[in-house]
Amino acid sequence: MSVTRITLWIGYALLFCAALMLLAAAFGAAFREIALSGSFLFISLITALFGGILAFTTRSAPVRESTRDAMVFLILFWLATPAVLFLPLWASGVTAGPAHAYFETVSAFTTTGASALAADELPRTLLLWRSVLQFCGGIVSAVFAVVILAALNLSGTGVHRSKLFTLRKGELFTRLVFIGKVIAGVYITVAVFCFTGLVLSGLGPFNALCLSLSAVSTGGLTPQDGSLSTYMNKFGVMVLAVTCVFGAANVAIVWDFMRLKTWGSFVRLLRNYEHRGLFVVIAALIVFGFLYAGFRNMFAVFIEAVFMVSTAGFDYAVIGIDIVPPSLLIMAALVGGCAISTAGGLKMIRLLLLMSHAVTDVERMSHPSKIKQVRFRGAVLQDRAFMSVWMYFFGYTLVFAAGIVALGAAGLDYPVAVAASASGLSNIGPLLDATFPLYSYESMTGLQMSVLSTLMLLGRVEVLAALAAFTPSLWRK
């Protein structure tokens, strides 16, 4: 294991955190929130100092790294960055303590969107800070999926592979910067279109900026309390819903569409296997919403179904998708969006792969002597290629169950613990409000928030990669 190479990139990660906090300090100065601005600036300088020392002392590190090095870096990144980024929020005094501040920061950076804070009572600097964290966390998640996670399952079914992923041995870390620029460009473009549409709908520039960053990252945090219908019109909400779909879509396909700008690329965008799966889940949720909420609330049901499946989870109206039984909402949230996107969840491609394999196995049982191969998207896949997907499904289920037990032991009732565990692991915080409106994150203890923070990070690290952290051979030189 190349310790110096990993340390170098951890130093770069700290410098990245310092840059974000420096940007927040500039926001605070522009909003004339001088105390907050000074706090962000001070912590930014300290973080930059430590990051600079790590990067400078390991600048002569080997230029090549293994996939094991990439996995270690992935785990350390998700452990180190929230531990630094939560410091300004804790220092601001708006949270009840460090566990609360860490929970809020992890929720934003993992694009979960769970919050115990009242948005109407927060300074504008912190509102924009949360939105920026969501946006950057969404980009980071997609970049890691394309570069690191795609390399880790190179011999499997290729859940994370895309046209953006071309690997030569030893260039994983250097690819992070290039892929990061491409994906950031895609999401910035989508956010700009969303911001423009929201402003044209009559929304103020500040709220439009916060919501556009939150929507493209499928984060779910809002700059105001209450349902979106109280301060947004239907056109603005439709713009937000379309942005959430783009956030949950496969970023490589979206990149092709933006780059080529042809009718064929648009058709591929709509006909993509994962995208069609998303549309089917949305349609199914709309049907159930219609049955339970009635025709009068169809617009709210339609919009909130899009929000729920994209794992953004924005609340549009008082009566909407939350009328649907909690079990169905939890199921939709656990499925999640595309593998290479800002959305959370198990990922649509894994569900489709498992369904294809299961259907083939059933046909084999009906005709034991018949040779039946698994076909997926026109290709023949060997049975051994599905092992990683089945293992991931098992690990995901195991962590989900462990989260329920841990939250129950921390004092939550069983039904609430199920919804809370699903909301944390699938990175869709508003799921808890949708399934149990009378229960809120504000009533949670520090221990319960710590358990949820762990589940949020596990959802972003990817479960198998996180479980590999407990393998001694991973850390052995």
Tens-digit pLDDT profile for the chain (477 aa)? 678 888 888 999 999 999 999 999 999 999 999 999 999 999 999 999 999 998 888 877 666 666 777 788 888 899 899 999 999 999 988 888 899 999 999 999 999 989 999 888 999 999 999 999 999 999 998 888 887 776 666 555 556 566 565 555 556 667 778 888 889 999 999 999 999 999 999 999 999 999 999 999 998 899 998 889 899 999 999 999 999 999 999 888 888 888 887 888 888 888 888 888 899 999 999 998 888 877 888 888 899 999 999 989 898 887 878 888 888 888 888 888 888 888 888 888 888 777 776 766 666 666 665 556 666 565 666 666 667 777 888 888 899 999 999 999 998 999 999 999 999 999 998 888 888 887 888 888 989 999 999 999 998 887 766 666 666 665 565
Instruction: Please report, as a single letter, which amino acid is at residue 431.
Output: L
Q: What is the pTM of this model?
A: 0.89
Q: How many domains does the chain have?
A: 2
pLDDT at 290: 86
Residue 446: enclosing H or E segment and its boundaries? helix 446-461
pLDDT value at position 68? Answer: 75
CA distance 245 to 172: 29
pLDDT at 148: 73
Instruction: Report yes or no on 69 lying in a domain.
Output: yes
Integer CA distances (angstroms), 163 to 83, 93, 146, 256, 350, in order: 33, 45, 9, 9, 18
Asked whether residue 403 is domain-assigned, the answer is yes
Beta-strand relationship, 379-381 and 374-376: antiparallel
Give yes or no for a contact between 60 and 6, defined as CB atoms under 8 angstroms apart.
no
Spell out the residues 6+ positions from residue 49 whose beta carbon is closer than 8 angstroms to its own.
none
Let me know if 245 is exposed, middle or buried by CB neighbors in 10 A (0-12, 13-18, 19+).
buried
Alpha helices in 294-386 (DSSP H): 298-309, 326-335, 348-366
Structure tokens at 185: 């460009």
DSSP state letters, 237-292: HHHHHHHHHHHHS-HHHHHHHHHH--HHHHHHHHH-HHHHHHHHHHHHHHHHHHHH
Residue 318 in domain: no
Judging by beta carbons within 10 Å of its beta carbon (0-12, 13-18, 19+), is residue 66 exposed, middle or buried?
A: middle
pLDDT at residue 147 in the model? 77
Residue 297 located in a structural domain = no
Contacts of 115 (CB under 8 A, 6+ apart): 104, 107, 130, 221, 429, 441
Separation of first and last alpha carbons in the chain: 5
Helix axes 234-248, 172-200, angle to 10 degrees: 170
Q: Distance (Å, rounded) from C-alpha 311 to C-alpha 244?
A: 8
| Burial grade of 100 (CB within 10 A; 0-12, 13-18, 19 or more) | buried
Last residue of a domain, one of 74, 93, 112: 93
For residue 180, tell me if it sits in a domain: no
Spatial distance between the Cα atoms of 382 and 380, rounded to a whole number of angstroms: 7
Q: Final residue of a domain: which of 64, 93, 122?
A: 93
Annotate 393-407 with b (16+ C-beta within 10 A) or e (fewer).
bebbeebbebbbebb
Q: Which domain holds residue 39?
A: 1-93
The last residue of one of the domains, among 77, 93, 109, is 93
Q: Is there a domain that residue 250 lies in?
A: no
Maximum CA extent, the chain: 76
